[in-house]
Each structure stands twice: as structure tokens, then as C-alpha cells.
Amino acid sequence: MSFLKQEYSMFLWVVRAELHAYFSWLRNNRLFAFMMLVWPYLFAFFMIGLGVLLGSLSVYAERMGVSNPLFYIIVASGVLVSSLNIMDTIVWSLVDYKWLGILPYIIVSPPGFRRVSVYGLTIPSIISGFISLTSILPAVLFLEGWLGCFKLFIILLIVYIGMLPLIGLGVFLASITLMLKEESFVSFLSPFMLLVSGVYYPLSVLPWFLRIIARIFPVTYVVEAVKLVSVLGYPDISRLLQIVGLLFILMIVYNLLFFPAVKRAEYFVKKKGVAV
């Protein structure tokens, strides 16, 4: 019991600290905060432009199997941007801490490396996911009214469920970057995620090996759920539940992978003296 109590207070400490740092940072970087809000729209306009160039929106809707293509593209862009933000936030935070020289002070703080990398990085990713998704609220209201808002709420829930394995994956990748002593490869992650998520085109256009990768990538399922939700009227609930189940399985697998990875990363950092 006292163990749980201690764990809970450490959780609070980390959450308070990271919330403070995140909001102070946003306040001091208003341009970035503004970009976070318009980013999904930029993505959506880009895709719509491309879509109209290659054929009409209705052809696109048919090909993707969605009923309201405009609604779908905007929501999917929101989902994609928030997922990219989540991954970026998690992976870059640890690398940032290393570059800034903050890592050693995190290691010697009472919550320590592992708690800060897991609890700490969850906070900004929840917020950035939330900000990206709520930024499309006006557009959703305009296109589908209150039903659209309700759907957006469901989608936010799905994104958060989809985030659980993403956190595992992100911390796992961040741990690996610390051990590799080389962090720039992280920049390739976002374009790669874009490629295999199947947001703007059906997955069937991908070569087989990318399709396999896509299948173990949580964002793919989130996107599929978004497609389901963005049909007119009631979505296919049983498939939706199936997807949620799959995301939970992925969460368990990734988190089983990442706990040992974070532990090893910490040991590695302390043994080799990198990053401190």
C-alpha cells in the first residue's frame, strides 16, 4: 500500500513538473503554439488539393470507403498530426534532455529516469494530441454539426487508446537513440509514420513488407477506426470494438518491450557515461 502511495506521489511530482515546463514553454513560444492549431488544416488542404487534382472528391470518397470525404480528410489530418505530435514529443524530449544537459539532473531527481520518461512524457503528448484534435472542432461543427462533435469526441478517445502503445513505442525508440549515441535518425520517424498509416490512401497500394509494418503500427488502427466513425449515421460497432481490442494488445506488447528497454537504457547511460 505504501508502495502505491509513494508511486502515486512521484507520479504527481512528475506530472506537475512536466505540465509546468510544457505550458511555460508554449507561453514562451507562441508561434509554435499557433502552428500547432493550424497544422491539421494545412495537412487537410494539401490533401484536398492533391485529391481534386487527381480526380473529384467523390471518387476519392469511393476509393477510401468513406461517406463524407471532407469531414474524413480533416479529421484524419487531425488524427495524424496529433499522432505525429505524440511520437515527436516523446522521442525528442529525451533527446532534448540529453542535448540540454538536463538528463543527469533527471536521473538524480527522486522520480528518476524511468518515471520521468514514462509519466513525464505522457503528459505533453496527451496535451499536444488534445490541442491538435480540438483545433479542428470548428471545421467539424461546420461540416457535421453536433453529431460531428460527438464523433470527434469518440475519435479523441480512440486516439488516446491508440496512444497507449505509441507511448511504449516512443519511449522504446528514445531509449535506443540514447544507446546509439546518435539521435538524428529520429527525424525519419514522422515521414515513415505518414507512409504506413494509410491515412490518405488505402493500405493496399503499399508493397507487402510495408503492409506488414503497417499492421503492427498503432496509428493504422486509429485511422481505420476514424474511417468507421466518419460514415454517415451509426458506425459498425463490432469492428470498432475489435480495433480497440487490437490496440490494447499492441499496448501490452509494446509496453512489455519498452520497460526492459528503458531499464537497459538507464544502465547503459550509467555504465558508459554517455549523456551525463
Binding site residues, another protein, CB under 8 A: 9-10, 13-14, 16-17, 20-21, 24-25, 28-29, 100-102, 104-112, 116, 267, 270-273, 276
Please provide the distance, in angstroms rounded to a whole number, between the alpha carbons at the two ends of the chain.
Answer: 34
Nearer to another protein among residue 31 and residue 237 (C-beta): 31
Nearer to another protein among residue 34 and residue 150 (C-beta): 34
Q: How far is the CB of 272 from another protein (least distance, A)?
A: 7
Judge whether 75 and 136 are in contact, CB under 8 Å.
yes
Q: How far is the CB of 108 from another protein (least distance, A)?
A: 5
Q: How far is the CB of 11 from another protein (least distance, A)?
A: 11
CA atoms of 217 and 195, how far apart (whole Å): 11
Q: How far is the CB of 189 from another protein (least distance, A)?
A: 23
Nearer to another protein among residue 120 and residue 165 (C-beta): 120
Alpha carbon 196 to chain centroid, angstroms: 14
Closest CA relative to residue 203, chosen from 185, 216, 190: 216
Q: How far is the CB of 165 from another protein (least distance, A)?
A: 27
CA atoms of 70 and 60, how far apart (whole Å): 10
Nearer to another protein among residue 72 and residue 119 (C-beta): 119
